[in-house]
A and B are shown apart, each in its own frame.
Chain A
Amino acid sequence: MSLLTKNNNHVSTETPPRRAIVPRYEVKETADAFIVTAYVPGVDRAALETQVDGESLTVFARRTWAPPAEWTAVYRETPAADYRLALELDHRVNRDAVRAELNQGVLTLTLPKAEAVKPRRIEIKG
């Protein structure tokens, strides 16, 4: 799995075109899975979409909060954008067992390794 960002500029067609940025993320490898951690503060569980299709994993996370109309922004540092992260998967990922978990703005994706690439001990006979 190269886990390189893939075509992240693509804008989802079914939603009004709102700016989407690539969230900060990191990838860790354990013996039996790749763990992707993406930071998506301001995203509610219901506003999160994770899709696995063939060669890619796409996460689309929408910011659910918007300031009430009578509020004026005095100072802003956060981008008013949704998050979109697309990762390329290769043969080492078991696509059927991908798990996603969202906790306080941190999305943890567990991509288990396919059985074929897990280390296997081969007994020597004779």
Chain B
Amino acid sequence: MKLIRYQTSPLFTPASSYPTLRDEMDRLFDVAFPALSSLQRGGLFGDWQGEFPVDLYQDKEGFTLRAELPGFRKEDIGVEVADGILTVTGHQKTQTASEKEKANTATAVQERRVSRAISLPENLALDKIQAAYENGVLTVTLPKREEVKPKQIAIEVK
């Protein structure tokens, strides 16, 4: 008998932030009707809060994660791996430019905090993870460990 380790989807969020059916439905609607969902979430004038969309691709070398995080500075984005969980955070503080503007907005300092945790598959080379940020898109390259890459071994037939 073989025991196969039960593997969850690489994008499964950890139990603490287990997505509810409602979250999943919201996400589905975000993708299908982006204009509508921005209205729903605090209106057109509201700030982006909480989550951001993520794509995950796979190839021979490993996985590539792409996250849409527009408007951050590179240094305001944090990518962290701990205990098999990849956490992407963004924290941005904007100070309104002038006194005049302060009168128009409710708060002088606007803060935007986003974060997302993604549980990773077991077979990644954690020390080789790389991240890049361009055009508001964060790309995290997650290479597989050498030994789990498929290897071709020629067997001589006698």
Contacts and interface: CB of A to CB of B under 8 A. Distances in A.
Interface in A14-40: 21-31, 39-40
Interface residues of A, number: 36
Interface string A38-50: 0111111000000
Given A22-B34, A77-B27, A77-B31, A71 B57 contact: yes
Contact of A39 (B48, B55, B66): B48
Given A25-B44, A26-B44, A75-B56, A39 B70 contact: yes
- How many residues of B sit at the interface, in one of the four size bands? 35 or more
B57 A67 contact: yes
A74 B11 contact: yes
A25 to B, nearest CB: 7
B57 to A, nearest CB: 4
For the residues of B in contact with A, the DSSP-based class is: mixed
A73 B56 contact: yes
Interface in B57-112: 57-60, 63-64, 66, 68-73, 100-101, 104
Interface of A: 5, 21-31, 39-44, 64-65, 67-68, 70-79, 103-106
Given A41-B135, A105-B71, 12 more contacts: A22-B34, A26-B44, A29-B104, A41-B68, A41-B70, A65-B137, A71-B59, A75-B9, A78-B53, A78-B54, A104-B134, A104-B135
Interface of B: 9-11, 27, 30-31, 34-35, 38, 44-46, 48, 53-60, 63-64, 66, 68-73, 100-101, 104, 133-137
In the A-B complex, list the 5 residue pairs whose CB atoms are closest, starting with the nearest: A105-B136, A105-B70, A41-B136, A77-B53, A106-B71
